[in-house]
Structures are given as structure tokens and as C-alpha cells.
Amino acid sequence: MMIQEQLKNAAKAAVKALFGVDAEDKMIQLQETRPEFEGQLTLVVFPFVKMARKSPEQVGQEMGAWLKENHAQLVSGFNVVKGFLNISIAPAAWVDFLMEIRKDDRYGFKPVTEQSPLVMIEYSSPNTNKPLHLGHVRNNLLGWALAQVMTAAGCRVVKTNIVNDRGIHICKSMLAWLKWGNGETPESSGKKGDHLIGDYYVAFDKHYREEVKALMAEGMDEETAKQEAPLIKEAHEMLVKWEQNDPEVRSLWAKMNEWVYAGFDETYKALGVSFDKIYYESQTYLEGKEKVEEGLQKGLFYRREDGSVWANLTAEGLDEKLLLRADGTSVYMTQDIGTAKLRFQDYPIDQMIYVVGNEQNYHFQVLSILLDKLGFKWGKSLVHFSYGMVELPNGKMKSREGTVVDADDLIEAMVKGAREMSADKMNRIEGLTEEEAQEIARIVGLGALKYFILKVDARKNMLFNPEESIDFNGNTGPFIQYTYARIRSIMRKSESEASAADLSAAVLSDKEIDIIQRLGNFPSVVEQAAGDYNPSCIATYCYELAKAFNQFYHDYSILHEENAANRALRIELSKAVAQNLRNGMSLLGIEMPERM
């Protein structure tokens, strides 16, 4: 049992014995003792003052004395500061707690059963007209980490993706390929399929802007020129043909999408993310139209004179929302309703989480209301995991202009950077093969990328700095990975150590107690990360734990400690830190190297 739980139970017994009252759980308020006071845990005694009819200081003194006398195996001392009882935990209790943690390889993770709530998490949501870029990287890493955190918190999780595989943007790439592609394929060009299609999306925009510029030179205003440019008209004609199931357009669309999917899969694999179920807008938009028509018949929506269908949300403090255009074509909201319908048919969802950028905040506010009106039980409680944009030192990214930071290029650069930054360290590792060195570089490079992105509160915009992310010092992934590798080295060297030492004879330092207390906090950190939908809590925890261990390692000998009990305890402490770091970083999708 966690020390906090033991102390809560003891505090309840103290209240009963001293004041004759059964204290409710919410009355027992424990917190970590502030560093300027002696002790490790502090009990707030104000809730007991009225029942005791004594001053806060008197209540604290009486409870402290009772705990020390009746729970000496747990409480070794106390002091009272106003209404706060600062408690020193007995060293033997810390040692027992450490060994409890060591026995559980998945300490901090709750079991998942068939009765656990089912949470569906949507992330990635790419368009099939371009490769994944840095913005998608943040989305995928956040979605994956959130899925791991929710699972660790005891939820069943379904990871899902909705692919935007239809619409005018897709037709732009298709039309450009027909005009200027000369039959080019991923095989003939040596390019990944998503990169190939992305090149044609950029090519379309280049030629389109030239046409608009030419029309404006002839005296046409810019808005009219954008609508009258031949290329955009052709793209719209192609979209109409797609809607009408034109066999040639559909065949080209299917072929080019397959190229893109193959490219996406490579990137997902490199990032270490995956999905349990993938939905495609081309399969969901008709379902959405059907659901909107159903809502129209029930009087939930209304049709205007031009034939368009709208939802009036003014009663909810919002505006009116278009659901079907006058020509009967769907909008994004319709497609999301259709996707929700299919998902609810496929899974008995208890909660739905959408990992989508904060520019879509209003969209999901509306979607939640519409799904609730349409009878989805999780509609009102859907969660929009809204995250900020990733910015670069030289400004924002624009896909159509080809100025994005490509995900594949970024991954390659991070691995290369890790290899260069760690060259000296790797040269000192005895017997390291070139293959092993490259694998370490992959783990460290991706760890640097993932940690740098995930350590930031998702709600904030962030500036991505590759050089800063791969530093082996400070709040970075490589710093934590290096700490883990250091401990693994200690463990390998300690394998011949006899484990017969009596750990209860060990003399604990304040730093050792601090580390055990940090280890014990892991379950509550996981719970907080899940409750707040905030994987950055895990990153912060891992960094603070690694930093505390490194300070301890600097101040105390481990393998060369002369006292056998102290040495054995420090080895167990090191193993527990490694265990927690590995488990914590795994929630962020970060691998840990055995050597580094």
C-alpha cells in the first residue's frame, strides 16, 4: 500500500481515537511537505478543529503525538506549523515502499478489464494531397501519447484515424498529375507516394497563381480572377465527376490515394504510431447526409428556400450552421456526423476524444451540440483535445507553397543529428557495432523529437528547435535516456552483487527518501495526465526524476559504497528509477537505450 494511503488510514484512526468522530475521506488532506520544513508529508488539520474544539496547533500536536506513539513503524517524528502537521516517515516504511514498487513492473498502471470505459481517440486526420509535416507530427505524437496515458489510467482505448480523401484539394493534385505528370509513379521517380502527390499539389498552386495573375493583368479583380482561372474550374469539374462516380476519375483517384497511403504508412512506422481503425471521408460523407436528412425530418434542422439545410443554434448562444449546401453536397460538419455514426455502430463508445488543432475549437463546440441533438450518448461529453500550432524560427508553414517541414526529412535529420551529437559517447562504448550505433542514434533522435514536442503543454503554441531538442543536458529526451542508460550500466555491473543484505539496516539519506517519494508519486501523475488530457505531466515527471537521480549519483557512491545494506538499497533504488523512467517514457512513445 502506498505510504499516503497508510498515513490516511492512520490519520482516520487518530481522529476517531482523539475526537470520537469517523472522518470522511475528503477531510484527510495530505500534501508534500514544503522544503523549508522538516518532514515529507503534511496533514492539513483545519477540518478537525471544529470537532475537537481546540486550536489548530493543539489539534496538530495531539494528532502528531498519537500517530508517533501508535504507528511508530510509519511515523518517526512530526512538527506543527499553524494548521499544518508535518510528518516524518520512518525509514523502514520508505524501504518497504521501495521494495513494493520494485515488485511491480507496471507500477503506476491500472489494470484494463472488459468493464473499463471505452475511449476512442481520433488523431492524425491527414489529407491525401500531401505528405505529413511537422504539424502532423505534433498531432500524431499527442494522439499516441494520450492513448497510452488513458490506457495506463485503466481505460480501454481505440485509436482511430479519419483520412480526408475527397474534396477539391484532392482534385487539384489529380489534375496537376494528369497535366504535367507524364505517367510518373513512385517506382519510376524513386519518391514516396505521398511526396510525389504533394509535389503536384504545389505545382497546381504555382500554375493557378500564374493564371490569376494573368487575369488580373487583363483588368479582372482578384476575387473574380480566382474563381474564373481555368485550372480551378477544371478542378471543380473533376470534383463533380468524382461525386457522379465517373469511372476514369474514380480510378485515378484510387490509384493516387494508394500511393499516398503507402507513403503515410512508412512515416507512421518511423514515428512509432499506429491505429486500430481507419475511416475515410469518401465512405462517411454519405452517412452524414443521411443523418442530416433524418434530423431534418425530426425537426432538428431546417431547409432554406435555396434548398440548403441548416441547424439553428442561437438558443445555445451560437449561430446558424450550414449542414448541406444548396446543391446537396456535404460540408466538413456533415462528414464528421457521418463518421460519428459509423464509429458508434462499430464500438460502444463511452467517450470520444478528437485530437485537432485549436483553429477548430468552434467546429467541435458545434459538433458536440449536433451529435447530442441526434441522439449520440457521448455527443455532449465529447472532448476536443485542442492543441496549439508548431511554429518555426522563420515563420509559419504553408503546404501549397511547399514551405512545410516534411515529417520524413525531420525524422531523418533528427537521427543524423543524434548520431553526430553522440559520436564521442558511442566511441567509448566497448564492442559497439555500426548497426548498434545506428539503432541507438534512431532511438535517441526520435526520443529527442518526441520529448521536445510532448513536454510542452498541448494547448500552447510551440517553437520547434531541433538543435535544442537533441542536447544531452537540460530538459530533453536524450538527458533522460542517458540517465536510464547510466542506470542500466550500474545494473549490469551489479549483477554479481549478493542480494542477501538486510535492507532494513540501511541508513537513508534525504536524497534517497526524496527519490522514493518521487517514485511513489507516479500513479497520481498518470491519473492527473489522463484526467487533464495532458501528456506533458509525464514528461515533466520523468525529467524531475532523472534530475534527482543524477544529483544523487553525483553525491553518493553506489557500487563502491562500503556498507553492504546501503549498497544493496542504492542498487534497488537505481533499478526502481530505471523502471519508472522506462514506463513513463513509454507513455510518450519513447524508447530507452540499454547503452548510450
In the chain, count of helices (H) and strands (E)? 23, 14
Q: Please report the pLDDT score of residue 466 as a whole number.
A: 80
- Per residue in 428-437, pLDDT (tens digit) is 888 889 999 9
Q: Please give the order of strands across the beta sheet that includes 75-81.
A: 29-32, 41-44, 84-89, 75-81
Alpha-carbon span 314 to 317, nearest angstrom:
5
CB 334 within 8 A of CB 285: yes
Overall average pLDDT of the 323-351 stretch: 93
- Which residues are registered as beta bridge partners of 280? 163
Instruction: Print the SS3 string covering 506-565.
Output: CCCCHHHHHHHHHHHCHHHHHHHHHHCCCCHHHHHHHHHHHHHHHHHHHHCCCCCCCCHH
Report the Cα 267 to chain-centroid distance in Å. Answer: 18
pLDDT reported for residue 399: 43
From 88-102, 131-145, 394-408, 498-512, the region with the lowest mean pLDDT: 394-408
Task: Name the band, by pLDDT with cuts 50, 70 and 90, for residue 2.
Answer: confident
Inter-helix orientation angle 510-520/522-531, to 10°:
40
Give me the pLDDT at residue 394, please. 62
pLDDT at 587 over 90: yes
Judged by DSSP in three states, 222 sits in helix
What is the predicted pLDDT for the residue at 400?
Answer: 45
Residue 488 is predicted with a pLDDT of 96
For the stretch 235-247, pLDDT in tens is 999 998 998 999 9
pLDDT at 152 over 50: yes
> So what's the pLDDT on residue 497?
62
Question: Any bridge partners for residue 62, and if so which?
Answer: none
> Mean pLDDT for the chain?
93
Give residue-wise pLDDT tens across range 457-503. Answer: 999 999 888 888 888 889 999 999 999 999 999 999 988 665 667 88
The percentage of residues in the chain with a pLDDT greater than 70, rounded to a whole number, is 97
- DSSP for residue 495: T
Look at residue 423 in the predicted model and tell me its pLDDT: 81
Q: What is the pLDDT, as a whole number, of residue 385?
A: 97
First to last CA, the chain: 35
Using pLDDT thresholds of 50, 70 and 90, give the confidence band for residue 1: low
Coil, strand or helix: which one is 32? strand
Query: Whose CA is closest to 538, among 479, 581, 476?
Result: 581
Domains, the chain:
3-89 (3.30.1360.70), 166-274 (no CATH), 407-587 (1.10.730.10)
pLDDT at 547 over 80: yes
**Cα four-point dihedral sign 62, 65, 67, 70:** negative
Q: Cell triple for residue 586? A: 513509454
Please report how the helices 281-297 and 332-346 are oriented relative to each other, as an axis angle in degrees rounded to 10: 100
